[in-house]
Every structure is written in C-alpha cells, then in structure tokens.
Amino acid sequence: MKNSFIYKLKTTIEIKVTGKNIERFIRKLIKEKIELLNIDYIKYNEIIIQIYKKDFTRIEEIKTIYDIEILRYHGIYKIKKIIEKNKYLLTSILIGFLIIYLLSNIIFSVEVIHSDSEFRKFLTEQLEEKGIKKYQFVKNYHEIQKIKKELLIEYKDKIDWLEIERVGTKYVIRVEERILNEKKQNKVNQNIIASKSGIIKKIEAKEGQIVKNKNDYVKKGDVIISGNIYLNEDIKDTVSANGKVFAETWYKVTIEYPLKYKEIKKTGNKKNVYTFKFLNKYYDLFNFKKYKTKLTKDKVLLKNNILPFSFIKQQQIETIVINEKYSKKEAINKAIQKAANKIKTKLKKEESILSYKIINEDINKDVVILEIFFSVYEDITDYQKIIEMPKIENN
C-alpha cells in the first residue's frame, strides 16, 4: 500500500513513438533496462508507452529514426504544473481562507447583560484585564473557565453567578449580582382571597383562619383564609394569612386545526459552510454530507461589484418537511391536544387539566373548528391587605 502511494507520486510520462519496426524499438528499450510501465498499440507503426521521467533523456539519445512526442505527465510533476498554472487563483483562495479564519477567530464585540450600568462598567473593566475584550483572539474553553473561576473567587461579595458565551465574533456575558444586607420586607397583615371563581379542592393554611371549606363555590375576591382571628365573633388578633388555595376553574377555548398539515421542522443539526455563489447558484466547499432540506443564513465575505460572484459563509440548519393528511377523527384529536397544550402553557407545576368537553364542532373541507370547555385544577391564591379601622375613644 505504501509502495503504491509512492508510485503514484513519481513523475511518469506518456509518449507516442512512431516509426518502422516498433517491436525492434521496444526490444532496444528493454535491453537498455528502461522500465516500460504501460504499452498501448495504436497502429502497426505507432505505440504509446508510459515511462519514468528520468528515462526520457536516454530514450531521446537512442531514438534514431523514430519520432517521439510527449503526450502527458503523471504524478508529482503534473501536480506542480497544475499549481504553477493556477498559482494566482490558489494563492487568492488560500489568502481568502486565511482572512476568513482570522476574522472568525477575533472578537469584535463584548456585551455584558445586566440592568445596572455601573455594575456593567465594573465587570467590563475586570474582563478586559483578563483578556476578554475587543480585537483579541478567542480563548479556548479551559481559558474561559479559568477566568470565570478567578472572577467568582476575587469578587465573591459582588458576583453570584457568571457565564461567558461566545456567539460568533462576540462574547456575551450573563451575570447575577450578589446582593448583601437585603432589606427585610415589612410584614403586612393580609387575607388570602380567590383570584377567580371556582370550586375549592384543597386549602393549605400555614397562618390565619380558614373561613371556606373544600367543595365550596367561591367568586373572585371571596376571603378563604382570613388574617383576622375571631373568637365568638370578636377579632382577637390580626396576622398575615399564609397558605395556598387550589380550586376547580373553567376555561373555554376555540381552536382550529387543518385537515392537511405541512410543517418545516428543525432537527437541531447545523453547520457553517463556505460557499461560492455564481448568479443564483451555490457551490459548497468541502461539504461532503449535504442536508436534504435546510434553512440558510448567508454572510457575504467577498463580493465582486462587476461579476455576479461572491464568497459566502453560510449557516445551514437541517430541516425535515412534514406533509400529513388527517381524517375527521384525527383532526379533532389533534385540535383537542393543541387546545390542551395551550392551557398547559399557563399552568404551574402543581396545576393540571381535570377534564374537557366539546361544546361546539364545525368542520369544512379544509379545517376543523372546535369550541372546548376545560375543567382545570388551579392555584387561585390571591392576597388582600387588611386595613385596620382607627379606634374610636370614648370620652
């Protein structure tokens, strides 16, 4: 295998030999120990032979009455000739790739995301001291982690959390400031009330007096856990009611779903490809595994104002195209699921959908339209400040 590769690199020549008694000429070459790599008989007086370049001078010396013509070169010499012929184009491409590499590995922007301008200024200065600044080469993963660790140790009283992310030629720094000596909020006496109408399913009271029961229907604003503590209809104490109330609540959702469905969905795979654009056609470089369908974002790196030619860095995002047709039953099920998902996006961790009922159904040739009534297990906890009435003194 190794010898085969070396053989391919050696320079060989294909030459055409014309003259009488070709066989006599071949015997002469063999006698002179000139290695004949290949022989093709064209006519009775014409052959094409392949030899090593180093033997061509000897053939020239012994050719006598025979005409010799070089047809083509093979091996390293041929490669040299191609490079020499296209040296300006190859040099331009090499310089272009070098410029692209340099530009894509230099940081042109640093953004610190924080609401306080003074804190942003402070952190920007510390990052610059550690080399996180504009017009510097990008740092590798281990260097970034080292800088993060150093900043978190040096400014542990100021920085609670820090993330440095490279986005193209930009650093995005997300940070959370450590707040010391937080002011304690004044405790306010309050009731827990219903944020909306529903049937109570669960009451978790940590402080305060429960004034409603499970399965009671409540309207928005009704007191469920009172901050006023009663004894024989008299207020003995007032506290800040604390707890949660869960109830069965109701939603009415109108939803549409097509009987024919088409979606272009991203697979999560993406890559950057360098490509030439001529007219409206793209010619990728070194893109050996092409996506069947994709979305693209172009960034023009080089452009000719005269010729319809440009050199582009293209982000390719792999997609799959979904084309589906649904029966009436399938479309209704899809519509119900879509409506349920719409409700779920509003629900918290402890909340859930209890049941549903289709109250209106309209189907035409293209779309299903449903009106659905949902019953939901939901946190209806809300708060109402207790306003203390001024005491009236009797004279």
Find out whether 188 and 203 touch, Cβ atoms under 8 Å. Answer: no
Strand locations in 279-351 (E) = 281-284, 293-303, 309-325
**Helices marked H in the chain:** 2-9, 22-31, 56-62, 76-85, 87-104, 117-129, 141-154, 328-344
User: What digits encode the pLDDT tens for the residues 237-260?
Assistant: 889 999 999 999 999 999 988 888
Residues 12 and 73 in one domain: yes
Say what the pLDDT of residue 251 is.
94
Residues 335 and 374 in one domain: yes
The long-range contacts involving 177-180, CB below 8 angstroms and separated by at least 24 positions, are 177/114, 177/116, 177/119
Directed axis angle between helix 87-104 and helix 76-85, to 10°? 80
Please state whether beta strands 234-238 and 228-231 pair in parallel, antiparallel, or not at all (unpaired).
antiparallel
Say what the pLDDT of residue 393 is.
52
DSSP 8-state class, residue 179: P
Structural domain includes residue 90: no
Say what the pLDDT of residue 44 is.
83
Residues 167 and 200 in one domain: no
For 207, the domain range is: 190-242
Q: How far apart are CA 192 and CA 384, in angstroms?
A: 6
- Ranking 22-36, 56-70, 90-104, 188-202 by mean pLDDT, the lowest is 90-104
**Higher pLDDT pick, 108 / 192:** 192
Structural domain includes residue 23: yes
Q: How far apart are CA 100 and CA 313, in angstroms?
A: 9
Paired tokens of 313: 């860095």
- Ranking 76-90, 166-180, 192-206, 336-350 by mean pLDDT, the lowest is 76-90
Structural domain includes residue 101: no
Considering the chain, what is the average pLDDT of its residues? 84
Sequence-separated (6 or more) residues with CB below 8 Å from residue 52: 10, 11, 12, 13, 35, 37
Q: How far apart are CA 121 and CA 180, in angstroms?
A: 20
Say what the pLDDT of residue 287 is.
77
Across the range 139-148, mean pLDDT stands at 88
Residues 65 and 6 in one domain: yes
Find out whether 95 and 115 touch, Cβ atoms under 8 Å. Answer: no
User: What digits encode the pLDDT tens for the residues 131-142?
Assistant: 888 888 888 888
Residue for token pair 């320079």 = 11
Question: Over 80: is that where the pLDDT of 394 sits?
Answer: no
Question: Over 50: is that where the pLDDT of 183 sits?
Answer: no
User: What digits encode the pLDDT tens for the residues 281-294?
Assistant: 888 877 778 888 88
Last residue of a domain, one of 299, 323, 347: 323
Paired tokens of 76: 């390293």
Domain containing residue 152: CATH number: 3.10.20.310
Paired tokens of 107: 């940081």
Q: How confident is the model at residue 304 (pLDDT cuts 50, 70, 90)?
A: low
Structural domain includes residue 87: no
- The per-residue DSSP string of 95-157 comes to HHHHHHHHHHTEE-EEEEE-S-HHHHHHHHHHHHHTT-STTEEPP-HHHHHHHHHHHHHHTTT
Last residue of a domain, one of 323, 344, 365: 323
- Tally of structural domains, the chain: 5
Structural domain includes residue 388: no
Strand partners, 314: 273, 298
Phi and psi dihedrals of 150, rounded to 5? -60, -45
Q: How many CB atoms lie within 10 A of CB 378?
A: 26
Say what the pLDDT of residue 180 is.
57
Find out whether 106 and 135 touch, Cβ atoms under 8 Å. Answer: yes
Residues 226 and 169 in one domain: no
Structural domain includes residue 387: no
Q: How far apart are CA 188 and CA 238, in angstroms?
A: 10
Selection from 321, 343, 344, 340 nearest residue 332 by Cα:
340
Residue for token pair 């040296």 = 87
Q: How confident is the model at residue 274 (pLDDT cuts 50, 70, 90)?
A: confident
- At residue 255, what is the residue type? I
Say what the pLDDT of residue 184 is.
42
Say what the pLDDT of residue 35 is.
86
Residues 22 and 68 in one domain: yes
Percent above pLDDT 70 for the chain: 93
Domain containing residue 69: CATH number: 3.30.70.260
Q: Is the dihedral of CA 153, 154, 158, 162 positive or negative?
A: negative
Question: Over 90: is that where the pLDDT of 4 sits?
Answer: no
Question: Over 90: is that where the pLDDT of 92 sits?
Answer: no
Structural domain includes residue 185: no
Say what the pLDDT of residue 249 is.
96
Global pTM exceeds 0.85 = no
Percent above pLDDT 90 for the chain: 23
Say what the pLDDT of residue 195 is.
93
Last residue of a domain, one of 304, 323, 342: 323
Say what the pLDDT of residue 182 is.
44
Q: How many CB atoms lie within 10 A of CB 336?
A: 19
User: What digits encode the pLDDT tens for the residues 45-75?
Assistant: 899 998 888 888 888 888 888 888 888 888 7
Question: Over 50: is that where the pLDDT of 2 sits?
Answer: no
Q: Is the dihedral of CA 270, 131, 127, 111 positive or negative?
A: negative
Classify 191 as helix, strand or coil.
strand
- Ranking 209-213, 218-222, 349-353, 391-395 by mean pLDDT, the lowest is 391-395
